[in-house]
A and B are shown apart, each in its own frame.
Chain A
């Protein structure tokens, strides 16, 4: 196990290097003037623009800039924000916590609601309850987050005055509920569908039939055999969903004024604040890789038969 973790961690390095090269090229090839954007206004004299370009190092060839970037990155230096004029790490890590919190809350909602619903639907396969849950799940996947967020905000914030309509509120639970629900409900529906499919597959397997033949109770079969085996697929999906969640919080973050990394990366790209965009994407990729590694480790905990070698 230890050797596996070390090997996977070492694999991070070429992965991050490869992605950083693609990311650097793409971000630096976007049309638009980073120097002007860094000055924050239009209509600067051309010589001032050139001066800013030189001060930001934008007048150097792209290869030289990339080598410089990677060298600094290896030393733990993500550079300085063009616009904020302080360290990128300060900018990025000040926003990462809020996104992780939102993503954890959303995936927790998805797991706590979606998995039991999917399980129940599978057990009641073909009944009206299964049909109803399927319709609700498909509806849940289809609702645009923006629209759902506004509805929740209007109902719970404006009509009932139960929860704050938006904002971070120093990280209070009340402020987390609506954005987490908005983000989590779509994933709840997705997990419910996947759980249903996984459970139905397990239910038709030989070992479940054998367990029944042995006279085990339905509860014991469901807990010991069905859920445990179906959970490998559910966990894989939840792990992948969590990774993608980190990069897909932008709509909810913007709508609820949630200070996360998703809205920051989009904002940085539009503002041509390339160092911040690079920093955000790098952190998102790192979180994605780490979550995948954790999921692989958890496989082993759930099913010791899985051989990492």
Chain B
């Protein structure tokens, strides 16, 4: 199974990178999609954390770091790292000299400071401010106790330093599209309406936003990477309906689309498109959270019995049409600390029955699982889970709720089981810390997981300088978490983009496949929108 997963990743990488090896054609127009629920709300990256918005702003703006699909981690984008202090807290950077904003002004070190301070001082608070709070003095500034962020210093026009509170890798915080660098004068001139006519330093300039329909961008000629971007125009069409996207793509109106689980088998079977699917295990883990306050679920043996009794491999293959990767732990296969030798529980009903008997629940019990209407991790899946659990005497009832209501129940602990999808990347230590006993139950550790052995391994990983040891500690912690079965691990999302044959440079971006960097994308002469 793991070998297959790696093969898929390798294939996806080949598809993704094949185009960049050829000489790229310049020109042409690219029609992409904004496929998620809801309109685009704002193009001000500091005012939104919605994927639907950030997949667009990602190409108008640049952050200090950018996610690299090739390296599977964030890499420096706007600057070079000049030095790191001995205590590992102060990072000194120098901006690339030729970095320009779309209004024609060169980017300066003071823009970095302005952007980060803006996020912290916005009212209401920026949803992305949490990433900036790792900087020393950020919280004091945010609460009005200081007139600037102590850990941010401008050294000269191009050089600046950032001092952190703790020894963490700043790349994992400052790569986020929501921490993009903005030009002060453009923000102040536009006021509240900066998000309606954004000015960034990315490969594409903002042209037009037809609210609820599309956003049009055009090539930024002074982009700092030579000859890039290749495309003249880039359009994001807001298409929330999968069937609409499918027809528009097949009518060649779109150059790439997000493929839904129900469409996946058709695309896989269609020789015109099967060679042009970009697939990646996104850093989201689907699960059922078990409430440890519900007596039967407080027993590890019962939770393990549940994990043995459900055949997630069959559910993923049949119910989700193969558009998912089987899990072995919390960290997805694209995580740098993923345990390639890890094994899930497997499907073993007899073992499950034995564990139920040992726990004193041989006759089973009643269990309610809540979920949304989501086709990939909603009540539909919970119904299937219920069929499996009936074999070990557990009577499952399900209830479909709207996402906001479900979340309230999750935070309040008002549930027995909730099926959902949580982020499980990008930085593996941070991802695993969700289940650290010190993480508040209402802000991540909803299942009240508490295992001192697990905590100790994470603490060791935090304090070591040995990269290999760090990964070993993280993998060991992940194995403990999986074995404790505090949640039922269902799958890692397999995100799929169908790409037209004339498109090159689309990459398997594990953080969110829609966060494509169109600086590298080009279309050949076969495109109906070439030149």
Q: CB within 8 Å of B: which residues of A?
A: 31-33, 36-46, 48, 51-52, 55-56, 81, 83-87, 90-91, 94-95, 98, 150, 153-154, 157-158, 161, 164-168, 170, 253-260, 263-264, 267, 270-272
**Known contacts A33-B404, A41-B49, A84-B195; A48/B248 CB under 8 A:** no
Residue of B38, B193, B243, B405 contacting most chain A CB atoms (<10 Å): B38
For B, the interface residue count at a CB cutoff of 8 angstroms equals: 46
Residue B306 at the chain A interface, CB threshold 8 Å: no
B210 near A168 (CB under 8 angstroms)? yes
Q: Is the interface of B mostly helix, strand, loop or mixed?
A: loop
Q: CB within 8 Å of A: which residues of B?
A: 37-39, 41-42, 44, 47-50, 123-125, 127, 130, 192-193, 195-196, 210-214, 237-241, 243-244, 247-248, 250-251, 253, 402-405, 407-408, 440, 442-444
A165 near B253 (CB under 8 angstroms)? yes
B42 near A258 (CB under 8 angstroms)? no
Give Cα A256 to B212, complex, Å.
11
**Known contacts A40-B48, A40-B50, A166-B244; A267/B238 CB under 8 A:** no
Choice from A45, A85, A259, A271 contacting B213 with Cβ under 8 Å? A259
**Which residues of chain B are within 8 angstroms of A165 by Cβ–Cβ distance?**
244, 247-248, 251, 253
20 contacts between A and B (CB under 8 A): A32-B407, A36-B407, A38-B124, A44-B127, A45-B443, A46-B443, A48-B125, A52-B124, A55-B124, A86-B193, A87-B192, A94-B211, A98-B213, A165-B251, A166-B244, A168-B212, A255-B243, A256-B244, A257-B214, A258-B213
**Known contacts A51-B125, A55-B123; A46/B442 CB under 8 A:** yes
Choice from B47, B196, B212, B214 contacting A260 with Cβ under 8 Å? B212
**Which residues of chain A are within 8 angstroms of B195 by Cβ–Cβ distance?**
84-86
Q: What residue in chain B is nearest A41 (Cβ atoms)?
A: B49
B404 near A37 (CB under 8 angstroms)? yes
**Which residues of chain B are within 8 angstroms of A81 by Cβ–Cβ distance?**
41
Q: What residue in chain A is nearest B53 (Cβ atoms)?
A: A40
Give Cα A36 to B210, complex, Å.
27
B182 to chain A, nearest CB (A): 15
Assuming A36-B407, A165-B248, A259-B212, what are 14 further A-B pairs, CB within 8 angstroms? A33-B408, A39-B49, A41-B49, A55-B125, A91-B211, A98-B213, A150-B244, A150-B247, A167-B214, A168-B210, A168-B212, A259-B210, A259-B238, A263-B39
Q: What residue in chain A is nearest B406 (Cβ atoms)?
A: A32
A32 near B408 (CB under 8 angstroms)? yes
Choice from A52, A86, A264 contacting B192 with Cβ under 8 Å? A86
A165 to chain B, nearest CB (A): 5
Give Cα A170 to B173, complex, Å.
38
**Which residues of chain A are within 8 angstroms of B213 by Cβ–Cβ distance?**
98, 167-168, 257-259
